[in-house]
Amino acid sequence: MGNTVTRWGFAVCLLAAAAAAAQEAATDLGGYNAMEIEAGRMKGNFATGAIDEMTDGVRIRLLSDQPDTKPLPISARSMKFTWSEGKNVPDRILMEGDVQVNHPDASITADRAEWDFNSGALVFSGNPVVNNDRIKGLRGDRMTLNLKTNTFEVSRVRADQVPLQAGDAAAGTGGGGAGGLSESDITDWNGLIAVLREQGGAQASSPGQRILSLLEQDERSLLMTLDTSVLLKRKGDMLKLINRLLRRPDFYSAEAWSNTKLPQEAQQLLDRKNELSPEEQARLNRLLLHAAYPDLVKAP
């Protein structure tokens, strides 16, 4: 029997299940509320509408009624479903063999993945790899894509190509430029990476937390999880990233720098913060960075 497409009126068993999940407040799949299903073989229960197993090549596609939310295709050689009695939402789906998820932000491949509908976590194992336009060959022992919180985590990160800075032509080459940092301006790279990670992961407001909050999500994740030895080999990329932030008018936060003594020049520039030229803005932010980490970053 050839490959068959199963769509029980929006694929009743899981399409309706995903929609019902939001109503039950048990699951929120990031705006997705329906599913298309395609499989070579399927075992299930017509009485309950529950699918037990799909094999011989399985493809599902998460759909949303929100126009800005793109479909999310997921495929594997087989998928097995676990249900709790009386529920129309599966507890989990175990995917095995050539697992691939084409998320709008990146594609993820792995040998195995387990999707917990209650938490929204889709956990990849067995040589998981991530690729997108900016990151090539990002690997880890375990990867977690949470569709409920729209977050992504990787343990024991390795990568073939990781540009730490966003695609910004104005970022320059990583040299100091007008008010920017050069490699020699950072006197302790290990120390700066360590303090940014410590402050970025803490609850209290701080310069490091503010800096991490201004990064793109993938930049922040890489800075927090990549081995320090890998980051030290990519100093040029880190400089581009930092120099990009040093041009931002919103770099300063009064709460973040509340426990930092600011030099008089920085305070004078802050008094004119709505009138600063790009050069003055970059200088102000350099002064703020030095004030936060005087033993790690040289004064401008």
- Is there a single domain that holds both residue 140 and residue 9? yes
Cβ partners under 8 Å of residue 185, min gap 6: 176, 297, 298
| Per-residue confidence (pLDDT) for residue 22, from 0 to 100 | 34
247: left (phi over 0), alpha (psi -120 to 50) or beta: alpha
Residue at 300 is within a domain: no
The domain total for the chain is: 2
- Is there a single domain that holds both residue 25 and residue 96? yes
Residue at 220 is within a domain: yes
- Is there a single domain that holds both residue 218 and residue 269? yes
Continuous segment of H or E residues that includes residue 138: strand 138-139
Residue 144 has pLDDT above 70, yes or no: yes
- Is there a single domain that holds both residue 69 and residue 139? yes
How far is Cα 74 from Cα 58, in angstroms, rounded to an integer?
8
The type of residue at 292 is A
Lowest mean pLDDT among 48-57, 91-100, 160-169, 191-200: 160-169
- Is there a single domain that holds both residue 202 and residue 150? no
Q: Which residue segment(s) compose the domain that 15 sits in?
A: 4-155
- Is there a single domain that holds both residue 222 and residue 282? yes
Q: Which of 155, 188, 222 is the last residue of a domain?
A: 155
pLDDT tens digits along 169-197: 333 334 444 457 888 999 999 999 999 99
pLDDT tens digits along 200-236: 888 889 999 999 999 887 788 878 888 888 888 888 8
Residue at 183 is within a domain: yes
pLDDT tens digits along 248-288: 999 999 999 999 999 999 999 999 988 888 889 999 999 99
Q: Which of 131, 155, 179 is the last residue of a domain?
A: 155
Say which DSSP state 27 is in: -
Number of Cβ within 10 Å of residue 10's Cβ equals 16
Residue 245 has pLDDT above 80, yes or no: yes
- Is there a single domain that holds both residue 45 and residue 149? yes
The type of residue at 229 is S
- Is there a single domain that holds both residue 198 and residue 148? no
- Is there a single domain that holds both residue 31 and residue 131? yes
| Per-residue confidence (pLDDT) for residue 207, from 0 to 100 | 95
State the sign of the Cα–Cα–Cα–Cα dihedral 222, 223, 226, 230: positive
List the CATH number of the domain containing 11. 2.60.450.10
- pTM > 0.85: no
| Per-residue confidence (pLDDT) for residue 52, from 0 to 100 | 84
**66 burial type by CB count under 10 A (0-12 exposed, 13-18 middle, 19+ buried):** exposed
Task: Compute the C-alpha angle 245/250/253, nearest 5°.
Answer: 110
Residue at 162 is within a domain: no
- Is there a single domain that holds both residue 217 and residue 261? yes
